[in-house]
Structures are given as C-alpha cells and as structure tokens.
C-alpha cells in the first residue's frame, strides 16, 4: 500500500516485559515521527528521525523508551520493562522532508495495553 | 514552549447546523497551523492547513483562517453532516529550521452530529 503502516495493530503485554513497535513509512519519505495518544495526555511527540539520525528525542518519557531507524526506512520503537502508564496508542508519521509545512502522513497506530 | 488550546468537547449538533471549534495557539516563531481529523476507527488525517498569517485553509466544506493578531485558527463549517462526526485536533508546527518540525496538538474535540 501507499500509506504508512504499523505493526502490530494491537499489543497486550504484561508489566515488566519489553515490546517492539514497527513503522513502515511511505516510500521516499525522509522524515519519520513517533507520537503517543493516551487518554490523560492527548497526542504527544516522542521522537523524530531525519534519515537514520534522531535530532530530536525530547519527547521520549524515560530511558526505557528508545527508537532506531535503519536504511532511512523502517523504524522500531522499543519500550523496556513496560509499565501500566505506557498503555496508549503509538502513532507513526512520515513526511517528505523536515520542513514545517510538509504534511505528515499518519499510520493507523499500535494500541499497546500493559496489564 | 509552544502550545495549542482548543475548545473542550464533546460537541453535539444537529445535521445542517453551523459549526465552530475554537483554537488558539502560543508560539515563539512563525508556525504553520493545521486541523487534523480522526474518524471512528481510522487514523489521523490532515483536514486543512495554513502556513502564514491571513491564509485560509479549506477542505470538505471546512475552513479556518490563520489570525496572527488573535493567535487563533478556529474551524468552521456552514452545514454539518452526520459523516462529520469525528475527533478534531488543532495543531501547529514550528517553522524553525534549527529544530524538528514536530507537531504540537491540542487536546482534541469530539464532534457528534445527530440526524
């Protein structure tokens, strides 16, 4: 497909386990973003990639969160030792470049539930 | 830091009613402004945008005008339809090239349209 895809669509895990969330951006999009949508916090920025580097990680809530991007394409968001407050929908977006007025296209999200 | 404040929901209207969802922003630079929409069970989609003062964004009968003097970007539609029922997010993205063009979202306004 032509859009941003994310997997899995749903993930249920036990507290303390690690999880990996995957994002496949639109082909050719150099910028990739991770956001989190939760009931109490709304939509929050987590991290941004330009190519394979992450110039802005300011939104990562703790050192349990990390992300990488390889080949300027697929990105993985890893949450270690998950906590119940990590439960949220994790959204990935991509855009052609880092310009502020370039539209970001969002994936359907991964719903993470930590029991 | 930059922020977006939008009208609390939920908002319930009858079909063909006039819609306004208020949005104001705080930004140090010259942001681009957006309205995103999330239909039930779907991902975030860009509804409209404006990149500079006095620009009007429009799409699907919705309009919003970038008002620098009042730091506002209110969403309006003259006659709503049941299919407009969704959550609407006002957002901004900073034009600064020294930082990532992450999107800062408002808290979202849930709109329900009665037939």
* Interval A42-68: pLDDT, tens: 899 999 998 899 988 889 999 999 999
Contact B39, B113 (CB under 8 A): no
Contact B109, B36 (CB under 8 A): no
C-alpha distance from residue A77 to each of A17, A98, B49, B66, B79 (Å): 14, 20, 29, 35, 41
Listed as ranges, residues in chain B with pLDDT below 70 are 95-100
Instruction: Report the pLDDT value the prediction gives residue B30, as an integer from 0 to 100.
Output: 82
Q: Which of A42, A100, A106 sits opposite B107 (nearest CB)?
A: A42
The yes-or-no verdict on residue A101 having pLDDT over 90 is no
Q: Percent of chain A having pLDDT more than 70?
A: 95
The yes-or-no verdict on residue A107 having pLDDT over 70 is yes
Q: For the residues A101-109, what does the mean pLDDT come to? A: 85
Shortest Cα–Cα distance, A10 to chain B (Å): 13
Q: Which residue has the higher pLDDT, A87 or A103?
A: A87
The yes-or-no verdict on residue A82 having pLDDT over 90 is yes
Contact B53, B67 (CB under 8 A): yes
CA angle A83, A84, A90 (to 5 degrees): 90
Instruction: Report the pLDDT value the prediction gives residue A97, as an integer from 0 to 100.
Output: 73
Q: For the residues A17-36, what does the mean pLDDT come to? A: 95
Q: Which of A45, A99, A107 sits opposite B43 (nearest CB)?
A: A107
If pLDDT is split at 50, 70 and 90, which confidence band does A102 have?
confident
How many CB atoms neighbour CB A41 within 10 A?
A: 12
b or e along A48-62 (b: 16 or more beta carbons within 10 Å of the residue's beta carbon)? bbbeeebebeebbee
With beta carbons under 8 A apart, name residues in chain B contacting A54: none
Instruction: Report the pLDDT value the prediction gives residue B42, as an integer from 0 to 100.
Output: 85
d(C-alpha A96, C-alpha A105), whole Å: 10
């Amino acid at each position: 497909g032509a859009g941003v895809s994310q997997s899995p669509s749903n993930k249920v895990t036990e507290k303390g386990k690690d999880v990996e969330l995957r994002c496949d951006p639109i082909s050719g999009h150099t910028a990739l973003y991770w956001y989190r949508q939760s009931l109490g916090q709304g939509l929050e920025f987590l991290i941004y990639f330009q190519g394979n580097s992450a110039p802005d990680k300011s939104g990562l809530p703790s050192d349990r969160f990390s992300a990488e991007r390889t080949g300027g394409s697929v990105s993985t968001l890893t949450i270690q030792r998950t906590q119940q407050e990590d439960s949220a929908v994790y959204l990935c977006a991509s855009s052609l470049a880092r310009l502020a007025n370039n539209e970001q296209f969002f994936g359907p999200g991964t719903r993470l539930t930590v029991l | 830091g930059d922020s977006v404040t939008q009208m609390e929901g939920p908002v319930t209207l009858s079909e063909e009613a006039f819609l306004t969802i208020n949005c104001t922003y705080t930004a140090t630079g010259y942001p681009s402004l957006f309205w995103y929409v999330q239909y039930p069970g779907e991902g975030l989609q860009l509804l409209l945008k404006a990149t500079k003062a006095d620009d009007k964004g429009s799409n699907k009968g919705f309009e919003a005008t970038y008002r620098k003097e009042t730091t506002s970007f209110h969403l309006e539609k003259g006659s709503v339809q049941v299919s407009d029922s969704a959550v609407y997010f006002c957002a901004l993205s900073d034009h600064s090239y020294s930082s990532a063009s992450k999107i800062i979202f408002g808290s979202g306004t849930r709109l329900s349209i009665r037939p």
